[in-house]
A = this chain, B = another copy of it.
């Protein structure tokens, strides 16, 4: 049984989208329970709209699998994260973190990234031996696979030992969840040669070489989505630049193409013929289909989805949470990092 908390506040599309995701997730997955956090009245009313259809489709009573906790205050992007986590006791996030600590397996939120990170640090804490947690989005590659970026912003001033811990976590995650026997782990750098990079990556390179992982060397940002690596290791600052730079460039190309199409009737006609290709492209690139960024290294599963997410992203995030639970990823982290502590 995987017990999952869904924060209904903070998403651009509002709580209804989260409720929809939760109901869909219950249809798609056996052996899960969902707890919604937010405005109790709103959530209940929304759930009731799904109740009959759920019963008809699954033969089960929706309310046997859901709980609602009233926590109607939102921590917004304008709040100072650590302050809000300490002070906004009735916020969906703070209540969520308390519940997460006390028995739930995972918390999924589309709220303020800063507050999600701060809550993870302050309320949940790290697994023993892991120097820093990391925020890890998954992206599509040109070859049809996926690549994990670790870290995209949890630790902006990272040290070499942090990056080595990331490598070990990603290795375990990929082996357990993705079923890849020997995940290719690369280090984000400004060149591929061993002597390239700033002090941080030069030192990290030497340590990664010694680790029992499939370290494939440096990777330039240009190759991020090439499929040449399963995991890309980075400090949180550069990782954030890579992630958002990639998003920005994709958006720019699509928006420029749209502008050009609108300029000519012939192009507009062409675009209609090309509908299928555009649809496939959009679906591949859509961040929604790749779930959320998992915060690896904490004692519980914490997943941050984009504020602009639709229900799809949350449904994928629920799947991620289930996979982490069922493949005992956190237990393996504990075991592996404990071993390392004992050996040092």
Contacts and interface: CB of A to CB of B under 8 A. Distances in A.
B248 A190 contact: no
Chain A interface, >50% SS class: helix
Interface residues of A, number: 62
A244 B129 CA distance: 34
A261 interface: yes
Contacts of A274: 261, 266-267, 270-271, 274
A260 B273 contact: no
A142 B241 CA distance: 19
A201 B240 CA distance: 14
Interface in A203-239: 220-226, 234-238
Interface string A255-272: 111001101101101111
A304 to B, nearest CB: 14
A241 B188 contact: yes
A242 B240 contact: no
A342 interface: no
Most buried by B among A114, A222, A243, A280: A222
A276 interface: yes
A190 B241 contact: yes
Nearest to A280: B260
Interface of A: 114, 142, 153, 156-157, 188, 190-191, 197-199, 201, 220-226, 234-238, 240-257, 260-261, 263-264, 266-267, 269-278, 280-281, 284-285
A190 B157 CA distance: 12
Contacts of A190: 153, 156, 236-237, 240-241, 244
A225 B250 CA distance: 11
B269 A273 contact: yes
Nearest to A248: B222
A220 to B, nearest CB: 5
